[in-house]
Amino acid sequence: MIAWEANIRRVVPYVPGDQPKGDRLVKLNTNENPYPPAPGVRKALLEMDYDRLRKYPDPIASDLVDVLAEYYGLGSDQVFVGVGSDDVIAMSFLTFFNSAKPILFPDVSYSFYKVWADLFRIPFETPALDAAFRICPEDYFKENGGIIFPNPNAPTGLYLPLDQVEAIIRRNPDVIVIVDEAYIDFGGTSALKLIETYDNLLVVQTFSKSRSMAGLRIGFAMGNPQLIKALNDVKYSYNSYTMNMPSLVLGKEAVKDDTYFKETLKKIIDTRERSKKRLRELGFTFPDSMSNFIFASHKTVPAAEIFEALRKEQIYVRYFKQPRLDDSLRISIGTEEEMNVLFGFLEHYLAERA
């Protein structure tokens, strides 16, 4: 072995999901929003001051932070922005999870939590979801170094009612509890209102799903000013300029157009509810999703087989080949047209299989 190899950080690299290319495909595999960003974003893109690209962006990202603070009724010192919620959460792990005690997150959950814990050498335990894929709050009532869970959970789509979220936060005043609300805009109630009551709560959200901006990479955290300052201290110790100029300019416009935001959400929620009905008719079962995807299992046909059949038709959904998950498909909610292509094929395919 070469000597320097001994000093390389060893990690189990996360493998990003398929990003198939082509125009005719139906892409329901990465929980992207099927509708474009707000019209104001298009306008800002066309009017963007090209010469400004030569200058460093605002390190404080104040335009974006301020518009988020105003939208959510917070002070600007209660909002932190990063390069997608992945950057925000990774930085939160580095900032807040420095105890020798294990942090806690559900065994079935966003797969990156384990990857970040591994990267930063943070001990962790993963309490199991119950048989119906529910988080059991009492599993988090024991000594720990910090807690994180998505709400709604991924890849199940299940929403944990706010009183149960609050119970977890209240029972853990000595550690930071991060509620990862990537999908909260699709019907759940945010824990945001609890940050005035609990100084140990950090709420993380993203522009990638509900705000149609996965391509811009914007995530944000909200919490008490002390937590936000600690995050900024670590951020300024890593990279002063994480948010580039286009993301600051376009992100701001996305927040300003609340009418478009709410209309888009309503369309996706309506399509989701119709999709639930169609899936049930087709013989699928699933936890009741409050997100922009449905985690569905067929009563008779194995998920792996449906996944392959769909892929041959250029219809992409997500399949997780791992215990507890390998009998389900995670199907993102697309446009009505995209869902009709999916259901049209499934109807045909499942009838032939019967």
Q: Which of residues 162-201 bind a copy of itself (CB under 8 A)?
A: 173-176, 199-200
Q: CB-wise, 86 or 181, nearer to a copy of itself? A: 86
Among 25, 167, 194, 245, binds a copy of itself (CB under 8 A): 245
The reply on whether position 106 binds a copy of itself by CB under 8 A is no
Residue with tokens 């600690």: 230
With contacts defined by CB under 8 A, how many residues of the chain interact with a copy of itself?
Answer: 87
> CB 345 → a copy of itself: shortest distance, Å?
22
CA distance linking residue 154 with residue 128, whole number of Å: 14
Sign of the CA dihedral running 11, 17, 18, 23: negative
CA distance linking residue 78 with residue 216, whole number of Å: 22
3-class SS of residue 297: strand
Q: CB-wise, 3 or 132, nearer to a copy of itself? A: 3
Tell me the two tokens of residue 299: 């009563």
For residue 329, give the nearest of 354, 350, 308 by alpha carbon.
Answer: 308
Residue 345 CB contacts under 8 Å (≥ 6 apart), including other chains: 309, 310, 313, 315
> CB 293 → a copy of itself: shortest distance, Å?
14
> CB 321 → a copy of itself: shortest distance, Å?
18
> CB 254 → a copy of itself: shortest distance, Å?
9
Q: Which stretch binds a copy of itself (CB under 8 A): 68-76, 82-90, 156-164, 324-332?
A: 82-90
At 294, give phi and psi (nearest 5°): -130, 135
Half-sphere exposure of 249 (CA within 13 A, CB side): 16
The reply on whether position 13 binds a copy of itself by CB under 8 A is yes
Helices of type H across 120-220: 162-170
Helices of type H across 282-331: 303-312
Among 76, 189, 244, 335, binds a copy of itself (CB under 8 A): 244
> CB 188 → a copy of itself: shortest distance, Å?
21
The reply on whether position 64 binds a copy of itself by CB under 8 A is no
The reply on whether position 70 binds a copy of itself by CB under 8 A is no
Query: End-to-end distance of the chain based on CA atoms, in angstroms?
Result: 56
Site string for a copy of itself, 218-237 (x = CB under 8 A): --------x---x-xxx-xx
CA distance linking residue 61 with residue 235, whole number of Å: 12
Among 20, 56, 141, 273, binds a copy of itself (CB under 8 A): 56
Window 22 to 41, contacts with a copy of itself (CB under 8 A): 27, 30, 32-37, 41
